[in-house]
Amino acid sequence: MAPAFNRRRPLPSGVPEKIRDTVFASAHTKAPRVLDLGAGSGRVAGPFLNAGDDYTAADLSMGMLGAFQRQHESARLIQADATVLPFPDAAFDIVLLVQVLSGLHGWRRALPEIVRTIAPAGIIAVGRVVSPDDGVDAVLKAKLADILASLETFPYRDKPRDDAMGWLGLHLPANSVHTIARWTTAERTPRAFSERHGSGARFSKIASETGKMAMARLEAWANERYGGLDAGEPEEHRFELSIYRKN
């Protein structure tokens, strides 16, 4: 999924810049050391690199890091497992977790390890795109979960993001939530959903034949409901950034 990641999961122009502005405004130092953990192929990296920030990107996937490097040759990239980070204590002032927690099943080991690497008064910034509850993506994800459940497969049963956010709120109680961007898009279609989720981390763990069967059933259902796989509806999305500060 690395070569097509940024294309299938784009952020609107200006959102990475607003992420940087918001986390720097919350930083306790004018020149913070930044770790972008789960950086993927670098979709939020540009503003940090262009400004010459002390920025490190880490991801478990070498494919993602390869795609990152092809876009940003001079970036400092490290392959790392969030549960065993290769950094000393208090190595960073900001840790970015953008669209990471929803798939971080090892969060119980990862979050204490992340906190270890943050300096006192440093922050964890958790970012995500929030889509409408009745939007195409939300409806199709719920339907896909039902179809997979009928096949005795349950990749969406647990919600690591909700549990992880609860842990952060308990252990780093000084937090704030910022809506840094809103936008309307008509690009959310059943076909685009199938492409994104068919290459997603959770779906890739499903047995191949089960996954193909489930996606075929979903597309047949979506074709009837929406009148075609390319039928889109305007939806408002927002980018939400939750900031947790270490005491």
Provide the pLDDT for residue 208.
84
Provide the pLDDT for residue 155.
72
Is residue 211 left, alpha or beta, with left meaning phi > 0 and alpha meaning psi from -120 to 50? alpha
- Amino acid (one-letter) located at 31: A
Q: Whose structure tokens read 């503003």? A: 47
Q: Are strands 54-59 and 33-37 parallel, antiparallel or unpaired?
A: parallel
Provide the pLDDT for residue 104.
87
Provide the pLDDT for residue 6.
54
Structural domain including 216 reads 2-245
| Counted domains in the chain | 1
pTM: 0.82
Provide the pLDDT for residue 7.
57
CATH number at residue 62: 3.40.50.150
With b meaning 16 or more CB within 10 Å and e meaning fewer, what string describes 174-192? eeeebebbeeeeeebbbbb
Give me 214's structure tokens: 């489930």
- Amino acid (one-letter) located at 164: A
First-to-last C-alpha distance (Å) of the chain = 38
In tens digits, the chain (247 residues) has pLDDT values of 555 555 556 788 999 999 999 999 999 999 999 999 999 999 999 999 999 999 999 999 999 999 999 999 999 999 999 999 999 999 999 999 999 998 888 999 999 999 999 999 999 999 999 988 888 888 998 899 899 889 888 776 667 888 999 999 999 988 999 999 999 876 688 998 888 777 666 677 787 889 889 999 999 999 999 999 998 778 889 999 999 999 8
Residue 226: phi and psi, rounded to 5, are -100, -5
Provide the pLDDT for residue 1.
56
**From CA 172, how far away is CA 149, in angstroms rounded?**
36
pLDDT tens digits for range 46-62: 999 999 999 999 999 99
